[in-house]
Structures are given as structure tokens and as C-alpha cells.
Amino acid sequence: MSNSDATSKAALADAVRDACINVGFLYVKNHGIPEEVISNALAASKRFFSLPEPQKLEIDIRKSSNFKGYNALLSSNNDPENVGDMHEGFEFGWEEMEVKGHDEKRANDGAMAGANVWPRDVPGFREDVLSYYHAAVDLGKKLFPLFALALNLPEHFFSDKTKNSAAIMRVLHYPPQTGSVDDRVIGIGAHTDFECFTILWQEPEIQALQVLNTQKQWIDAPPIPGTLVVNLGDQFARWTNDVFKSTVHRAINRTGVRRYSIPLFFGTDYDVKLEPIPSCVSSDRPAKYEVVTAGDYVQQRLKAAYGH
């Protein structure tokens, strides 16, 4: 990830370009996030999700104007064809590790502006999930130059557009689905992500994530030890006029055991207009999307997912 050799960087950018154009998903190794940081975030997530339901509902996301807090089982629905998503989650955004009051650097956080809400009586939860959050944000910042090179753009093309990058994290719990199976209730229904890309940690040895390929077949994306999954989202698809793929995916946990995952949705500054990059538009590939700001787009999608 941090190799500064020009030849190695070019080769990596070529591999990223191939994955972004043809698949929209890639695995990242040597990502630099310590295993202890991941383990602590997972343990904190388990402590939170083991709370009694009424206590978790004290910070229900539907009580929040900025889409932060707890979402219960079946309270979101990413696929309109389904009944609901069989997972519960906790959602939060940027916050310094040290409590400093309002952080002026993050004043323009669009749809996610405002303070996070945290559960009571879960020792260490905030610190452990925020430690992972900041480590994953640092990784996201390292990925943007690679995506720029993959688009044959200057390496720092995205730097002035990602000074306060939107970074929304969720910790997720998928209970086991046992007994009779209703195909309209799965872990999370078929969808694309909202932001530029998602950095996903998924629990080892538990298969749930599936990706829809170009032949409209569902392909497993199994956890690979020592790696994180990165998938592209709609902001990049709109920005690149679909040169980069935002690929449909879903999660189905029919393993008979609980599953946990931690996605970080990493985007651009919310006031950035998602205008197609000039090199991605031609007479053969006319502009496909209405120009919107990144923040407006994310807010529309969050409202649709949570019924706000």
C-alpha cells in the first residue's frame, strides 16, 4: 500500500484499474490496520449488540436527524423487493478520539452533520470503534491517489475534493437465519453503496457477502485472512460516468452462526459536485447522470434506506 517506487505504484494502479472497470470489488492486503485494533472493535461490537433491545432502542436511528445511532432488525430495507434486512447495526461519523467539543474542521458534514450518539453502559465501546474508524479513514486517504492513477489522472487529483471526506461507519450483526427460509428476508438485500468506495472488514470463515457479476450470477466474496474488501460505490460511478463500476451486492447469513462485519463508507466532501471527469465523457460515452452534490445524493439514499 505504501510503496513509493514509481514502477510498483504504476503496476498497482493498473491492477486497481482492471478491478474497478471490470468487477468493482477488490481485496486489499498489507493495509496497515493492526490486528489488535480490529479485534478490539469486534469485541466492542459484540458487547453492544448483546444489550437488551430496549436499551439499544434508546439511541434508535429514527430518533436522529442525521442518521446516527442504532438500527434494529428489519428496520432498514435496501432492496424494495424484500421485506427487510436481517441485521442490526450502529452507525456513526467523524469524531476526534479526544472529546474537544465542536470540531470546526468537520463543520460541513452535510447529511451526517451533528454529534454522534453513543450507547450507555458499554465500557470502551466508543474508544474501540473510533480507533478502528480512524485507522480505516487513514487507509481510505491512501486509496484515493491509487484511484486517480487508475483513471490516468494526476496522483493528487482528488486531494482538494477530499479534505473533509465523508466517512460513515457501521458495525453490523447478522443473526443466524434458521428454520424455513423466506427469500424476501436476507441479511442485507441487493444494493449498491452510496459513497466513493467502501472498506469492509468481514468476520473470518463465515461466508455471507455475494457480488452480482456481469452474467447476473451471484458470486461469493469470501473473507480472506489478512485482507479487507474494497468495493466501489455510486459517487465514483457518477464521477467516472460508469467507467468505474458500482457493483450490486448483498449478504446472506445462512451459516447457522452469528456474523459481524464493519464497513466504512468513504466518500468525497459533501459540497463537491459529482460532475463527470472530462476524460470519462466522449461521443461514444455521453454523460449519463444529472449533476448533484455528493451530500445531496447521500442524503437521498439514506432517507430511502431508513424511511426518514
Give me the phi and psi of 251, to 5 degrees please.
-135, 130
**Considering the entire predicted model, what is its pTM?**
0.89
> Is the distance from CB of 163 to CB of 269 less than 8 angstroms?
yes
CATH number of the CATH domain containing 161: 2.60.120.330
Note down the domain range covering 272: 3-306
pLDDT in tens, the chain (308 residues): 555 678 888 899 999 999 999 999 999 999 999 999 999 999 999 999 999 999 999 998 888 777 899 988 765 555 555 555 678 999 999 898 876 554 444 545 555 567 899 998 899 999 999 999 999 999 999 999 999 999 999 999 999 998 888 899 999 998 887 654 455 455 677 789 989 999 999 999 888 899 998 889 999 999 999 999 999 999 999 999 999 999 999 888 877 888 999 999 999 988 899 999 999 999 899 999 999 998 888 888 777 766 55
Q: Residue 139 phi/psi, 5° resolution? A: -65, -45
The distance from CA 292 to its chain's CA centroid, rounded to whole angstroms, is 20
Which spans in the chain are helix H? 6-22, 35-49, 53-56, 125-150, 234-239, 294-306
The number of C-alpha atoms within 13 Å of 128 and in the hemisphere containing its C-beta is: 20
Q: What is the pLDDT of residue 148?
A: 95
Domain count, the chain: 1
Residue 66 near residue 114 (C-beta atoms within 8 A): yes
Opening angle at CA 262, ends 236 and 26, nearest 5: 45
How far is C-alpha 109 from the chain's CA centre? 16
Residue 242: Cβ-neighbour burial (10 angstroms; 0-12, 13-18, 19+): middle
CB 244 within 8 Å of CB 236: yes
DSSP state of 62: G
pLDDT, position 90: 96
Helix (H) or strand (E) run with residue 71 in it: strand 69-71
- Give dist(CA 134, CA 136) in Å, integer: 5
Estimate to the nearest angstrom the gap between the alpha carbon of 71 and the chain centroid.
16
- Let me know: does 194 contact 266? Beta carbons within 8 Å: no
3-state secondary structure of 99: coil
User: Is the Cα torsion angle 308, 234, 73, 65 positive or negative in sign?
Assistant: negative
Pair 227, 27: CB distance under 8 Å: yes
Q: Given this model, what pLDDT does residue 184 score? A: 47
* C-beta separation of 297 from 275 below 8 A: no
